[in-house]
Amino acid sequence: MEQVAGQVRALDGLKVIDVSSFLAGPFCATQLAEFGADVIKIELPTIGDALRRFGTITPCGDSLPWLSECRNKKSATLDLRKPEGAELLKALVKQSDVLVENFQPGTLESWGLGWETLKEVNPRLIMVRISGYGQTGPYSGRPGFGRIGNAFGGLSYLAGFPDRPPVTPGSATIPDYLTGLYGALGVLLALQALQKTGRGQVIDLGLYETIFRILDELAPAYHMKGYVRERMGPGTVNVVPHSHYPTSDGRWVAIACTSDKIFSRLAEAMGMPEVGGDGKWGKITQREAQREQVDQCVGDWTGRHTRDEVLALCESYQVPCGPVYSIDEIFKDPQYAARENIKYFNDERAGEFAVPNVVPRLTDTPGRIESLGPALGANNDEVYRVRLGLSPERIEQLKSAGVI
């Protein structure tokens, strides 16, 4: 992904205040920052965001998740619980476009910084509010994290094998990232609406809602038929073979036959063309009725070949198939290299560093990574002296009082 220094980005000029913590809110703001938004990350004085201490700690004192997921931001310290801190935030909001927060509902209101107050300060403000259960409903006051979003949203129940307990569906942080992404989408939609109405608005997201939204036919199937989908291991409802299969060299491949035509091609690749087409497994209804036998047959075939052999055969017959990669294999793969999906650079605080590159890929106004997560309060002078016009004496007073 070529990134030209100085090239125009889609969100150049957008001013964002990020008062959120840990992951969902910060990731939302990071998406905006990667495409040009000027994002100020507000953190508690001396303490900072808890994400700084979560995960692998680097020699510079901050964690890998902080350096990766709070990139392209400026850090300013501010205690919103103090009246002077609340007033300073209002001053920043007055000259900003977006504010991102993920406190429990009612927290900002208790500090005099709720939506009703902030929209009076800036009627054009767009406010992203992320919480475990959203701003309304009987559970709105409950705390929530990604693991709870996976569970309450319906994904955890589906993860694992039918005769075993539910497992973590890949990562407990999926709802955080997904909700952050929906938050960034909400900002883009609200900016479009702002051009038409002249008014800002709230983007209200619960962590569980974004999980529930992506569960394909789960809701309509239950409503129509009373069908409760159970755990299926690596298998997939409605299609077969559509799973993970072992290879002779101790590795795994993912094969996805989403149509009868693709299965016929797989049958040819396996040297068993008679089971496809008009054969015993040629129709999805036939394969569904004998799911275990079909998966066993495909697994026996893949198990007689190395992973590379299976991949080559499937490619030659145009059967969707891919390796089940570990992270070390991702770093070696030529597709990742060609697409520059991993960004390498030398950071003055963290040294040699690698992070996932910007997504999505825009051809004319691409995003880019300019810096990793900043040191705590690294931009206090720029925020308070330059942006708000405070004198050095006033800044020192605020610092002594623990406001910044």
Same domain, 110 and 181: yes
Handedness of CA 62, 66, 70, 71 (dihedral sign): positive
- 381 carries an active-site annotation: no
Cα 227 to Cα 395: distance, rounded to the nearest angstrom? 62
In a domain, 85, yes or no: yes
| Overall domain count for the chain | 2
197-222 mean pLDDT = 98
Of 378, 384, 376, 379, nearest in space to 84 by CA: 384
In a domain, 270, yes or no: yes
Cα 29 to Cα 72: distance, rounded to the nearest angstrom? 10
309-326 mean pLDDT = 98
pLDDT tens for each residue of 236-256:
999 999 999 999 999 999 999
pLDDT tens for each residue of 59-86:
999 999 999 999 999 999 999 999 999 9
In a domain, 328, yes or no: no
In a domain, 220, yes or no: no
Question: Predicted confidence band at 1 (pLDDT cuts at 50, 70, 90)?
Answer: very low
Contact (Cβ atoms closer than 8 angstroms) between residue 384 and residue 395: yes
Helices marked H in 231-388? 260-269, 284-289, 291-302, 307-316, 327-332, 334-338, 380
Same domain, 310 and 276: yes
246-273 mean pLDDT = 98
pLDDT tens for each residue of 177-192:
999 999 999 999 999 9
CATH number at residue 113: 3.40.50.10540
Contact (Cβ atoms closer than 8 angstroms) between residue 180 and residue 28: yes
Same domain, 109 and 201: yes
Question: Predicted confidence band at 4 (pLDDT cuts at 50, 70, 90)?
Answer: low
Cα 87 to Cα 388: distance, rounded to the nearest angstrom? 12
Same domain, 164 and 295: no
Same domain, 396 and 314: no
356-367 mean pLDDT = 96
Same domain, 62 and 143: yes
Same domain, 169 and 272: no
Same domain, 188 and 256: no
Domain edge (last residue) among 323, 354, 369: 323
Same domain, 57 and 193: yes
Does residue 99 register a pLDDT over 80? yes
Contacts of 104 (CB under 8 A, 6+ apart): 131, 132, 141, 142, 143
Cα 108 to Cα 126: distance, rounded to the nearest angstrom? 15
In the numeric block, which tokens belong to residue 334?
């030529």
pLDDT of residue 7: 85
- Catalytic option among 62, 176, 204, 295: 176
pLDDT of residue 231: 97
Question: Predicted confidence band at 5 (pLDDT cuts at 50, 70, 90)?
Answer: low
Same domain, 274 and 380: no
Same domain, 41 and 184: yes
In a domain, 8, yes or no: no
259-263 mean pLDDT = 98
Q: Which domain holds residue 294?
A: 242-246+252-323
Whole-number average pLDDT of the chain: 96
Amino acid letter for position 328: D
Domain edge (last residue) among 323, 358, 376: 323
In a domain, 330, yes or no: no
pLDDT of residue 2: 46
In a domain, 231, yes or no: no
Reported pTM? 0.94
Helix and strand totals (H; E) in the chain: 17, 11
pLDDT tens for each residue of 8-54:
999 999 999 999 999 999 999 999 999 999 999 999 999 999 999 99
CATH number at residue 277: 3.30.1540.10
Handedness of CA 335, 340, 341, 347 (dihedral sign): positive
Please state, in angstroms and as integers, the Cα–Cα distance from residue 38 to each residue in 23, 66, 178, following that order.
19, 18, 22
Cα 221 to Cα 257: distance, rounded to the nearest angstrom? 21
Cα 311 to Cα 27: distance, rounded to the nearest angstrom? 35
pLDDT tens for each residue of 323-361:
999 999 999 999 999 999 999 989 999 999 999 999 999
Q: How far is CA 179 from the centre of its chain?
A: 7
Same domain, 24 and 60: yes
Does residue 6 register a pLDDT over 70? no
Amino acid letter for position 145: F
Contact (Cβ atoms closer than 8 angstroms) between residue 373 and residue 34: no
Domain edge (last residue) among 323, 354, 376: 323
In a domain, 6, yes or no: no
